Amino acid sequence: MVGTGFFPAGREQAYHIEESKRGSGHDLFLAGTGEVGLMGMHQDEILDEATLPRKYVTVSTCFRREAGAAGKDTAGLYRVHQFDKVEQVVICRPDEAESRAWHLRMIGFVEEILRDLGLPHRLLQCCTGDLGPKNADMIDIESWMPGRGDAGADGAPKGAWSETHSASRLYDYQCRRLNMRSRGETTGGRPAPCHSLNNTVIASPRVLIPILEMHQNADGSITIPAPLRPYMNGRERIG
């Protein structure tokens, strides 16, 4: 958690399991993203540049306290404390152009998934003031959710763009803290910190909001997007 930059900044978002008070040797913390475990695999290693980029994907259960949300979105599926997430991590050479190229490619994976699911979306370039200390750049992907947003004159919500994905490039921030280096032509044969990137591929239950709302029919039934039907025993509709 320290090496990936979630501690000390962001510590208030993590669930603290005080095992030391129950006689155990040390306390535990529940991770809010699979990125923590993936990046930790190569801590204190020097990677051969020929083996880069390292591309990893994990499916993990994540836990976040959502401290500071001030009661916002506490009802429904949007802001929950436990969720499942597919997370992608890339560890590449310490080269700015390569890092930027991977950032765009990772965003492309998400857009392809959203197009296949028939979900309108947009990219939001996060400004510097919204970036955490570990991020060099972050782009949020927002999906259209008809059931969110301010209410209109008829009392019905107007809909809103809401974050469903986030893709970050971190340059060498995490790798320096984790002492994760590479050696090869790019580094002149000397060990140098790698660059890392991470990307939310898909997270549930939040993604269920646009899936259900964008595919709801007039009679209240839900048309299941074609890519999901093989996982629903071939069903085309719910309800």
Active-site residues, by number, are 64, 79, 163, 166, 206
* pLDDT tens figures, 103-138: 999 999 999 999 999 999 999 999 999 898 899 999
pTM of the model: 0.91
From the CB of residue 177, how many other CB atoms can be counted at a distance below 10 Å? 16
What domains can you pick out in the chain, each with its CATH number?
A: 11-238 (3.30.930.10)
Evaluate whether 43 touches 180 at the Cβ level (below 8 Å).
yes
**What's the distance, Cα to Cα, between the start and end of the chain in Å?**
43
Under the banding of pLDDT at 50, 70 and 90, the label for residue 23 is: confident
What DSSP designation does 225 have?
P
Evaluate whether 225 touches 232 at the Cβ level (below 8 Å).
no
> What value does the mean pLDDT of the chain take?
94
pLDDT at position 72: 65
Evaluate whether 2 touches 36 at the Cβ level (below 8 Å).
no
